[in-house]
Structure 1
Amino acid sequence: MSLSIFGFQALWSPYFLGVIIILTGLYFFVTVARRDRFKVSEPLQRSEAIYFILAMILIYVIKGSPIDLMAHIMFTYHMVQMAFLLLLVPMLLIKGIPWWVWKAVLEIPVVRSIFKVFGQPVIALFVFALMFSVYHLPVLFDTIKLNETYHGIFTFILFMSAFFMNWPLIHDVEGQPKMKNLYKIGYIIANAVLITPACALIIFNPEPLYATYTDGETWLKAMELCVPISTLAGLSLSGPELFNNMTPIADQQMGGVLMKILQEIIFIVVLVRVFVRWWREEKKNEADITEKALREFQAAKKQSEQY
């Protein structure tokens, strides 16, 4: 059955697209037109603008395009959505917003207090792993998917936990604590390990876990999160199997596997970049130490010749 039966609004979320466009315009207004209002600022770099635009495009694709609708029909799409929303979008936003904007935001007392706690690498790491695991507990997952308010609140909390998890890895804000590159490597590996149990539970469970993807009545109720109720009332639907040829257990397993694969790919890319930066710094330090030792040797030799 075609997804077009759900209508244009459910497929393309025009209001959400409007929000994305407004946020993008506000970004350039603040970083370009009103840059002089900041105590410290620099011209907006092309790379920063690209990162931010990519973040906005990705947010719309995974939350405003038909992919979001499919995420309510197939668990596989849900997990792909989660992978990009939690592991890639925060990185793009952190890199896309100039450091001097972050610095101004972090000077706000409330924000500074929040970052002081949740910006700590160990806390950020365990909070994200906990939130991700708790979110995918069947009872809580189905409850959240059936209530728009719960879904919005928990998605926001989960996203913020992902943001703080990525913050120590990515940020370049002057005056903020930074992890050494060697520590970042261990941090990335620890992150991959901590969310593995949740993915394993999803992949290796012999039975479908989520009623919102298996029970027709529950699924139809969950669809109200992305399809207008008036549209659903005019449709005769029995369940997600009308749009999905996979069995529920195969769909669940595929979702868990893809989540883990995408996580590994994203983390490997970050790991390689961190390792290269660490290697370059080590080589630079080695060259500086050698040069310093050579100068000291020459100075000592010259002094001994004078005597």
Structure 2
Amino acid sequence: MPLSIFGFQALWSPYLIGVILFLTVVYFLVTVVWRKDFKVSEPLKRGEATYFILAMILLYVIKGSPIDLMSHIMFSYHMVQMAFLLLLVPMFLIKGIPWWVWKVVVEAPVFRNIFDLLTKPVISAFVFAMMFSLYHMPGIFDAIKLDETFHGIFTFFLFLSAFFMNWPLVGNVPGYKQMKPLYKIAYIIANAVLITPACALIIFNPNPMYSTYTDGEAWLKAMELCVPASTLSGLALSGPELFNNMKPLEDQQLGGVLMKIIQEIIFGVVLATVFRKWWIQEKKDDKAITENALRDFQANKQSQQY
């Protein structure tokens, strides 16, 4: 059965397009037009603008395109959506918004103490792992999918935890302590390990875990998150099997595997970037030490001659 039966709004989320366009306009107003209103600022860099636009495009692709609709039909699409929403979009946003804008945000009196606490590497890693694991516990997951308000609140806090988890890796505000490269490498590995139990539970469970992907009535209720109820009421649908040839267990296992693979790829790229920067810095430091030692040796030799 074609997805077009759900209508244009469910397939392409025109309201989200409006929100993303609004955020993009505000971004360029703040970073270009209103930049001089900040006490400290710099011209917007091309790389920063590129990262922000990529974040907005990616956000629309995973939450506004038919991928979002498919995430309510197939669990594997949901896990792909989660992987990019939680691991890549926050990273792009952190790198896309200039440091002088972040400085105003993180030093705001109401937010500063919370930010300092939740961006501590140990806390941020465990909070994200806990939120991700809770989200995908069968009872909680189905409750989230069946209540629009609960879904919005939990997803927001899950995304916020992902933002705090990514900050120690890519955040760069002058005056704030940065993790050393070797610590970043250990942090990346720890994050990869911490969500492994949740993925393993999904992959190796012998039975389908989520009624919103197996029970027709629960599935139809969950579909209201992305399809207007008026549209659903006019359709004769029995369950997600009308749009999916995979068995629920196979779909569930594929979702867990894809989440882990995408996480490993993203973290692998970040790990390689951190290691490369560390290696280059070490070589520079070694060269500087050698040059200083040679200079001191030559100075001592000359002084002995005199």
Q: TM-score, normalised by structure 1?
A: 0.99
Secondary structure of 1:238's counterpart equals coil
Q: Structure 1, residues 174-195: CA drift from partner, whole Å, max 9, x if none? A: 1112100011111101111111
Deviation, 1:298, is: 1.6
2:195 equivalent in structure 1: 195
Shift of 1:128: 0.6
Matched, 1:164 2:168: no
CA distance in 1, matches of 2:124, 2:284: 31
Please name the residue that 1:134 is paired with: 134
Aligned partner of 2:226 in structure 1 is: 226
Q: CA deviation at 1:271?
A: 0.5
Residue aligning to 2:281? 281
> Once the two structures are superposed, what CA deviation does each residue of 1:7-65 show, in whole Å capped at 9, x if it has no partner?
11111110111000000010000000011011111111111101000000000110111
Cα deviation for residue 281 of structure 1 reads 0.6
Q: 1:87-132, CA deviations, whole angstroms, 9 ceiling, x for partnerless residues?
A: 0001100000011111111121122111110010110011111111
2:206 aligned counterpart, secondary structure:
coil
User: Aligned partners of 2:35, 2:100: CA distance in 1, in Å?
Assistant: 10
Structure 1 match to 2:239: 239
Residue type matched to 2:204 in 1? Answer: F
- What is the identity, as a one-letter code, of the residue corresponding to 1:144? I
Give the C-alpha shift of residue 302 in structure 1: 1.8
What is residue 13 of structure 1 aligned with on the other side? 13
Within the alignment, does 1:69 sit opposite 2:46 as a pair?
no
What does the per-residue CA deviation read over 1:151-170, in whole Å, with 9 as the maximum and x for residues that have no partner?
00100100011101000000
Residue matched to 1:261: 261
Q: What amino acid maps onto 1:221 in structure 2?
A: K
Structure 2 unaligned runs (5+)? none
Residue of structure 1 equivalent to 2:45: 45
Letter paired with 2:29? F
Number of the residue aligned with 1:82: 82
Could you tell me which runs of 5 or more consecutive residues in structure 1 were left unpaired when the two chains were aligned: none
Partner of 1:271: 271
Deviation sequence 1:246-281 (CA, Å, 0-9, x none) = 000000000000000000000100000000000001
The alpha-carbon deviation at position 171 of structure 1 amounts to 1.2
CA-atom RMSD in angstroms: 0.7
SS at match of 2:246: coil
Secondary structure at the aligned position of 2:301 is classed as helix
Q: Hey, what's the Cα distance between the residues in 2 that align with 1:207 and 1:106?
A: 45
Q: Does 2:151 match 1:151?
A: yes
Amino acid at match of 1:163: F
Whole-angstrom CA distance in 1 between matches of 2:163 and 2:121: 12
* Structure-1 separation of matches of 2:205 and 2:107: 47
Deviation, structure 1 residue 228: 0.5
The 2-side partners of 1:305 and 1:142 are apart by 84
Q: Per the alignment, in what secondary structure is the counterpart of residue 174 of structure 1?
A: coil
How far has the Cα of 1:305 moved from its partner? 1.7
Q: Equivalent residue of 2:57, what SS? A: helix
Q: Aligned equivalents of 1:47 and 1:195: distance in 2?
A: 31
Distance in structure 2 (CA, Å) of the matches to 1:268 and 1:79: 19
TM-score by length of 2: 0.99
Q: What secondary structure does 2:172 align onto? A: coil
Aligned to 2:173: 173
Aligned to 1:305: 305
1:249 corresponds to 2:242: no
CA distance in 1, matches of 2:178, 2:122: 13
Instruction: State the alpha-carbon separation in 1 of the partners of residues 14 and 82 from structure 2.
Output: 21
Alignment of structure 1 residues 112-123 onto 2, 5 Å:
112-123=112-123
Count of aligned positions: 306
State the percentage of identical aligned residues: 74
1:102 alignment partner in structure 2:
102
Task: Report the 3-state secondary structure (helix = DSSP H, G, I; strand = E; otherwise coil) of the residue aligned with 2:224.
Answer: helix
